Amino acid sequence: MTTPSKQATVIGGGSWGTALAHLMAVAGARVKLWMRNDERVQEINTAHTNTRYLKDRPIHPAVEATSDLAAAAAFAELIVVAIPSANFRAIAYELGDCVSGDQILISATKGFEAEHLTRMSQILREETCCRKIGAISGPNLADEVMDNHPTATVVASPMEEVVEKAGLLLAGPTLRVYGNHDLTGVEVMGALKNIVAIAAGVCTGMGYGQNSLAMLLTRGLAEISRFGEALGADRMTALGLAGLGDLIATCGSPLSRNNTLGRKLAAGMTLAEAQADTIKVAEGVNTTYAASMHAARLGVDMPITRAVNAILFEEHKPADVLVKLMSRANRYEHSEIPIDAPRPVEGSVIDTALSVAARSRGW
């Protein structure tokens, strides 16, 4: 029999929110899924599908949809918030009137609020009384999750209770859960990989192969790792599921909405045309804008992000941006020092001799 501890609420009925609700139901929980659209609420509760986002894939019958935010919030101790970053604060503000301080809030949104580079967990802290806060991230394409493909995700929080209770609800036959105390790193890596995914889509759309994609993925990982460190993240997080794992999934799969957007841009669509051509939100667009805005302030060199920003917001052609990227000075891989302009050698025999000669001549 399902116990009260095996109850959860998901806020947001898009593809990922619905997939998370389904996963927890498969793992034995009763789940409330909140969404504004009453027509989709009825579809989920009667047909057990969400055809707008997940076609005819069946949703576990233990998922019950509702448009009543207060009822959804009161249903469970743990609430997962899967709202696009552009609307995240508005929903978090509404949620703030419905939750109590002993509840757990988990963000499942990979993005930033651009102006101040605010992470979603920070918004939950600002807009609600809850302090048990965490985030979910990893290589979790919603369509594959719904098709029961084995996968893994990371639950990040500085609080053990958050990780343990979220893990209890999420872990199931097709999902392994890993914990991480680096909440900043998991959120930052999960957001920034979407920029590289757009670039990967452009790369694929231009007809380039695995050499090009491998270069992009590797240098993209270095770039987002530097950015994460500047914000206080652990560099090792970039090598985990929220960093490298998610990069592999989103840079190589046509199921990735950010990858798909990149391929449309390579085909000649404008950003507005590419966004209008899909119902799903490509979070990498807003993330590119946010990261580009703050990179200089943080002292982080982000050539791939600058390139994607030029394509998205400055109407540069992908081919021209690629030429500029490939013509950058060659560098040492880890130090980023240009090979073409190495540092002058200090303390050499010649330097010492010249110094002695200068002193003897009174220079």
Quick check: 339 pLDDT over 90? no
Do 195 and 295 lie in a common domain? Answer: yes
297 falls within a domain: yes
Q: What is the phi/psi pair of residue 64, to 5°?
A: -115, 120
Do 101 and 207 lie in a common domain? Answer: no
* Alpha-helical regions (H) of the chain: 15-26, 38-46, 51-54, 69-75, 85-96, 120-127, 142-146, 160-170, 183-205, 210-230, 246-252, 257-266, 271-276, 284-298, 303-313, 318-326, 349-360
120 falls within a domain: yes
Q: Give the whole-angstrom CA distance, residue 228 versus residue 46.
A: 44
Q: Which are the catalytic amino acids? A: 193
131 falls within a domain: yes
Quick check: 284 pLDDT over 70? yes
**Residue 319 lies in domain:** 185-326
1 falls within a domain: no
pLDDT tens sequence across 82-130: 999 999 999 999 999 999 999 999 999 999 999 999 999 999 999 999 9
Domain total for the chain? 2
Do 114 and 228 lie in a common domain? Answer: no
Do 15 and 149 lie in a common domain? Answer: yes
Q: Give the whole-angstrom CA distance, residue 64 versus residue 331.
A: 54
42 falls within a domain: yes
- Give the predicted TM-score (pTM) of the model: 0.89
DSSP classification of residue 172: B
Do 100 and 218 lie in a common domain? Answer: no
Domain containing residue 52: CATH number: 3.40.50.720
Do 217 and 77 lie in a common domain? Answer: no
DSSP states of 33-61 as a string?
EE-S-HHHHHHHHHT---HHHHTTPPPPT
Strand partners, 66: 34
Do 241 and 108 lie in a common domain? Answer: no
141 falls within a domain: yes
Is residue 239 within 8 Å of 177, Cβ to Cβ?
Answer: no
Percent of the chain with pLDDT over 70: 92
Do 167 and 212 lie in a common domain? Answer: no
Do 166 and 82 lie in a common domain? Answer: yes
Q: What is the CA radius of gyration of the chain?
A: 23
